[in-house]
Amino acid sequence: MSSETAHNQILLSADFSVRYADKPPVLRNVQLEIRRGEVLGLVGQSGSGKSTLALAILGLLDKKRSKAEGTMNFQDSDLLQLSERQLRELRGRAIALVLQSPLSALNPALKIRTQLNEAWRAHASGTREECANAIRTSLQSVSLPADDDFLCKHPAQMSVGQAQRVLIAMAIMHRPALLIADEATSALDVITQSEILALFRELNRSTGMAILYISHDLASVAGICDRIAILHQGEIVECGATERIFAGPQHEYTQRLMSAIPRMLPADAPSLKTEAAAAR
């Protein structure tokens, strides 16, 4: 099968709504497709329902407080119809998640080796050597050392960027078909953010893993995503190739988003520094 053919296959196809108690739906008739091997950006302002969508895919919504209705087909299964036991088998193996705050997501009391070990054994059985090899491969995939000095560290002994790479290493350990990155770079400085974005793209290309990249940062979305879906007030209002969305947004909300992006000054325009110096 060619890479182009694989890229065009649908990995996840969803048409669903989510509501909390008797309140209006948080997500309304969301129609979303994720293709095998692609990076799909999900863009929306805070409160638009992005994280709720991610939790719904993972089956992590509080079932006592919320209700998801519709269909969510993934690898020949409707995720909304699966039991908790069946969902637990999928999480971390077929669908993985990278969260916004790595130092909060990692257990501060456990060494990195222990946490990676637990992530591997959640979906695999084997010898200690096989586990060590899997940990080494995952850490190398995210450009982290796999020596004892590093593995014996606790999360607080690492930088935020290193902690985020550890989270990504845990997420890709079982080579999931889909990785959900929920605001995974928003807690990072600009340089580290750029490095993590490049890492996501490299992992996508080298493993064929599809990525749902959730963000409110249009610049980062433009850098790595093949397609973009725009979420506004609980609805997908526009979806298309990244180039098309940026060049010719069709929905009014998407147009407002694009108009809010800072534009580069013309080459002959005076810089802010020059103007400030002239004013003095």
Taking CA 111 as the corner, what is the angle to CA 110 and CA 115, rounded to the nearest 5 degrees?
A: 75
Please report, for residues 42, 184, 203, 244, 265, the alpha-carbon distance to residue 208 in angstroms, rounded to integers and kept in the order given: 19, 19, 8, 23, 38
Amino acid 242 reads T
Q: For the segment 51-105, what is each residue's pLDDT rounded down to a tens digit?
A: 999 999 999 998 888 999 999 999 989 999 999 999 999 999 999 999 888 888 8
Which uninterrupted H or E stretch holds 274?
Answer: helix 272-279
Q: For the segment 106-164, what is each residue's pLDDT rounded down to a tens digit?
A: 999 999 999 999 999 999 888 999 999 999 999 999 999 999 999 999 999 999 999 99
Sheet with 27-35, strands from edge to edge, namely 27-35, 10-20, 66-74, 77-78
Task: Return d(Cα 50, Cα 82) in angstroms, integer.
Answer: 22
Q: Which residue do the tokens 């893993």 mark?
A: 209
This prediction has a pTM of 0.88
252's tokens: 């009014």
Decide if domain 3-94+176-279 falls under CATH 1.20.120.1200.
no
What pLDDT does 272 receive?
31
126's tokens: 């084997």
Q: Are the beta carbons of 155 and 104 closer than 8 angstroms?
A: no
